[in-house]
Structure 1
Amino acid sequence: MNTFTIKDLENLSGIKAHTIRIWEQRYNFLKPSRSDTNIRYYSNDELKKVLNIALLNKYGYKISHIDKMGESELREKILTLTQTEAQQERIVNDLIQCMVDLDIERLENVLDSHIRVRGIERTITQIIFPYMEKIGILWLTNHINPAQEHLVSNVIRQKLIVGIEGIVTSLKINKTVLLFLPEGEYHELGMLFMYYLLKSRGVSTIYLGANVPMQDVEYVVNLKKPDYLYSHLTSVGHNFNFDKFISAITKKFNGTPIIISGLLTNSYEKKIPAHINFKKSFPEVMEFVATI
């Protein structure tokens, strides 16, 4: 069984830790355990309950009313939410619950169902990407089991690759983007997502993959002369040094615009060189794609 901190619940549900503490004091639906040092921690079931309660609360239900609901009524009310955003958030929450339960079959069914109805691109932008943003925080804090991460990542990776291989477009943009992840970074879902976005819009794309030595990137850059380099940093290994990475790509590729996105860009506070551009959110990533 996983255990989650109150900060994990805040990140996954969008409910501030202060509010969660108030809910614990006033209502009966949350009963966290305590560590030997009196720190709150929450079970899988409590995480799932907070996700459901946060969703109903966001779309109009009062907490005092939710507190009186049984499990079946809670699930029934969630299924009656008709707002498009609410339905998308419900699916993202379902995927999180599948992950903590290691219910990979159901996770695949949820994704396949949405792909059939909405198509691969909408599934990626509306479901997979928001889901990845949420669970990426757990990857950074090591608050999920590696087995969960690997199983979920492989399922999503398969969906993205099928989407990439199925792209048929008449668009043609005379720009080339080289995609790579530096040594120590193995989380390639964000990069595959970018691969899909760029290819579907007619951008010529060179995909080197994960854990690529800098000399290999340099070799391809010298040979192919791409217009942009793109890297997406989610959760690199302990040996990775962001400052050294910035310094190395600045020295080797000073004449090429470099785009970096991912969770790590939000924690980097030093000044970056003029030819390097951080994309710290999904809208910023989409803006870049639209302006190539």
Structure 2
Amino acid sequence: MNAFTIKDLENLSGIKAHTIRIWEQRYNFLKPQRTDTNIRQYSSDELKAVLNIALLNKYGYKISHIDKMGPEEIRDRIITLGNIQAQQERLVNELIQHMVDLDLDAFETVLDEHIKSRGIDKTITQVIFPFLEKIGILWMTNHINPAQEHLVTNIIRQKLIVGIEGAFSHIKVKQTGLLFLPEGEYHEVGLLYMYYLLKGRGMNVLYLGANVPLKDVEFVANLKKPDFLYTHLTSVANNFNFEKFLTNYQLRCPSHTLVISGLLTQQYKKKIPTNVAFKKSLPEVMEFIAAIH
């Protein structure tokens, strides 16, 4: 059985832990178990309940009113929400619920139906990206079970590749970006999303993929002379030495700018090489992309 902390519920639902505690005291839909050390543990059903209740509450329903509804009525009310943003959030919540249950067929069906009705581009921007952001896959991986993460990201990876193949811009940008993940980094979804965004802006993208030795990066960079290199560090192997990686990069590719995003950039406190730039948050990444012309 999945067990979630109150912090997990906060991260996935957007409802502050303090508010969740108040809901527990006043209403009937949350009855968490307690560990031997008195830590709250929530079930999969309680996570789903919080996701649904938070969505209805956000779009005008009072918690006291929702508390009197049965599960079927809650689902019906959510489906009939008229706000477009609310329906997108409903789909993201459905993806989270299917991920928690490891119902991969249902997970993929949600994506495929949205692709069929709205197209791959809108599915990536309106559903896949918000889902990745909400569960933390783009930035860190400690909100969910690694097995859940690997299974759903493999499905998303396939959809992103389809989106990349079809990405097109009437405006061509003369800049070229070389994208790679260093040795020990296999979490490719964030980098694939960057590939999709850059190609959509009309850029020429050279994509080396995951777990690439620096000597290979150096060879391609010297041969193709890209305007910048880009890597996204989500959750590298324990033996990955970030400082050593930066030093080796500066030695091998002194004339090539490297842009790095991901969790490790937030944690690194030492001086970074002059040809390296950190993007420490998703807004900074999006600003970087918007500035490319």
TM-score normalised by the chain length of structure 1: 0.91
Seen in structure 2, the aligned counterparts of structure 1 residues 142 and 71 have a Cα distance that, compared at 3 Å, is: closer
- Which has the higher mean CA deviation after the structures are superposed, 127-136 or 176-185? 127-136
Aligned equivalent of 1:185: 185
Q: Distance in 1 between matches of 2:259 and 2:221?
A: 15
Return the letter of the residue paired with 1:22.
Answer: I
Deviation at 1:236, TM superposition (A): 1.8
Count of paired positions:
291
Question: Are residue 204 (structure 1) and residue 211 (structure 2) matched?
Answer: no
Q: Is the 8 A contact 2:13 2:50 kept in 1?
A: yes
**1:67 matches 2:92:** no
Q: CA deviation at 1:135?
A: 2.2
Aligned residue identity for 1:165: E
User: Superposed, which structure 2 residues align to 1:94-113 within 5 Å?
Assistant: 94-113=94-113
Range moving further from structure 2, 133-142 or 153-162: 133-142
Match of 1:76 in 2: 76
**SS of residue matched to 2:179:** strand
Distance 1:121 1:272 in 2: 36
Superposed CA deviations along residues 112-146 of structure 1, whole A, max 9, x for unmatched, are 12122222222112211111122236962264151
Aligned residue runs from structure 1 range 123-138, under 5 A: 123-136=123-136
Alignment partners' CA distance in 1, 2:181 and 2:145: 22
Deviations 1:44-81 (A, max 9, x none): 11111111111111122111111111101111111122
Structure 2: unaligned runs, 5 residues or longer: none
In 1, Cα distance between the equivalents of 2:173 and 2:150?
Answer: 35
Match in the other structure for 1:140? 141
Q: Shift in Å at residue 271 of structure 1?
A: 5.0
Residue aligning to 2:230: 230
The CA deviation string for residues 232-259 of structure 1, in whole angstroms up to 9 with x for no partner, is: 1222222223333333334433332222
Normalising by structure 2, report the TM-score: 0.91
How far apart in 1 are the matches of 2:279 and 2:127? 20
Instruction: State the AA in 1 paired with 2:131.
Output: Y
Call closer, same or farther: CA 1:67–1:269 in 2, change over 3 Å: farther
Q: In the TM superposition, what whole-angstrom CA distance separates every residue of 1:205-229 from its partner, at most 9, and x where no partner exists?
A: 1101011112211121121111011
Residue 185 of structure 1: CA displacement? 1.3
CA 27–241 in structure 1, closer or farther in 2 if over 3 Å, else same: farther
Q: Which moved more, 1:165-174 or 1:102-111?
A: 165-174
User: How many Å apart are 1:263 and its aligned residue?
Assistant: 3.7
CA distance 1:270–1:61, change in 2 (3 Å): farther
- Tell me which residue corresponds to 2:217: 217
| Equivalent-residue separation in structure 1 for 2:79 and 2:230 (angstroms) | 39
**d(CA) in 2 for partners of 1:275, 1:82:** 49
Rate the CA distance shift 1:140–1:169 in 2: closer, same or farther, 3 A.
closer
1:121, 1:275 → 2: CA distance?
Answer: 33
How many Å separate the matches in 2 of 1:92 and 1:234? 21
Asked if residue 87 in structure 1 is aligned to residue 66 in structure 2, the reply is no
* 1:289 counterpart = 2:270: no
Find the aligned partners of 1:142 and 1:189 in 2 and give their Cα distance.
16
Q: Which runs of 5+ in 1 are unaligned?
A: none
SS of the equivalent of 2:125 reads: helix
Measured in 1, the distance between the counterparts of 2:94 and 2:268 equals: 32
Task: Output one character per residue of 1:67-122: Cα deviation in whole Å (capped at 9) or x when no partner.
Answer: 11110111111112222221111111110011111111111111112122222222
Change (3 A) 1:246 1:64: farther
> What's the C-alpha RMSD, in Å, of the aligned pairs?
2.1
